Structure 1
């Protein structure tokens, strides 16, 4: 299935033999990028190969004969950690992260934090869902992690 692109991701796009069309492109809040010649390209919810084919198709319609396009994810959208951590906020995502590593990046728990399961809000193709998860659960780009307060 592959990683689905979303707003906040940065794509490194290379068009073979066309340095003016190549570069890094940040996916805007609408899920689009803007490229020379072809304008706005919808990339949200697409995989890297799908984006490559879409750009090749649009370039070949009017501008280039048999274009070759390479797309890579340069950086993924950040995740957010809120609630009872020392330094809540947005942080860059790195592959292989778990909720536990997110808590560490947020400076660890506050003295009032509930150190049990954590509320994670995640967007998927079927919508946005909030679920209680253990701290060993893998984290994904764009996740919102909320550490609840414990009751004595």
Structure 2
């Protein structure tokens, strides 16, 4: 219901509905390179551990080897690992995956200190700008763009300062002309 309302408003003012609708649907966190995770296989200490997702989206697990978890949400990654362990190695394995440290987000453009910063849960664009020591005097506070990887492809979304930031996002604050 709310999603339909937003899409109707966006269509009325001419914003790309397909891009925005897809970004709303993909707000469930997707694992990616640089995330540190803990995989727990209940009752199997030797199969559990902490791992960092490499640049190709893989982790290396005992017994089953390299597993691509990048681009998957936590629930799908848990199910995939359980499927790989069953029935060859374990009968009905119970797998839990939690994110220990999220990959950083990046902010550039008209902020005092552009760069990469650690992600914090429920972060907004305004929080990200505050971490980067605020806007410069030339910043166009109404034209902020987030580049986000959604299902393996990069999407650019124009947002306001209340928009949610996800790990791995690239925030660009444009310059105003007057």
- The TM-score, its normalising length taken from structure 1, stands at 0.89
* CA shift for structure 1 position 110: 1.9
With 118-127 and 138-147 compared, the bigger mean Cα shift is at 118-127
2:14 aligned partner: none
Relative to total residues, which structure has the larger helix share, 1 or 2? 2
With 13-22 and 121-130 compared, the bigger mean Cα shift is at 121-130
2:50 aligned partner: 24
d(CA) in 1 for partners of 2:55, 2:132: 25
* CA shift for structure 1 position 126: 7.0
Q: Deviations over 1:28-83 (max 9, x none)?
A: 11111111111100112222222112212222243233322111122222111011
Shift in CA distance, 88/49, structure 1 to aligned 2, threshold 3 Å: same
With 33-42 and 122-131 compared, the bigger mean Cα shift is at 122-131
* CA shift for structure 1 position 140: 1.6
2:89 aligned partner: 63
1:106 aligned partner: 132
d(CA) in 2 for partners of 1:129, 1:13: 30
1:51 aligned partner: 77
Give 1:9's match in structure 2, choosing from 7, 25, 35.
35
d(CA) in 1 for partners of 2:142, 2:71: 32
- In structure 2, stretches of 5+ residues that fail to align are 1-25
d(CA) in 1 for partners of 2:34, 2:109: 22
Give 2:168's match in structure 1, choosing from 132, 142, 150.
142
- The TM-score, its normalising length taken from structure 2, stands at 0.77
d(CA) in 1 for partners of 2:67, 2:151: 20
**RCO higher in structure (CA 8 A, sep ≥6):** 1
Q: Where does structure 1 differ by over 6 angstroms across 4 or more consecutive aligned residues?
A: none
**Preserved CA contact (<8 Å) 1:77 1:141:** yes
**Preserved CA contact (<8 Å) 1:117 1:135:** no
RMSD: 1.8
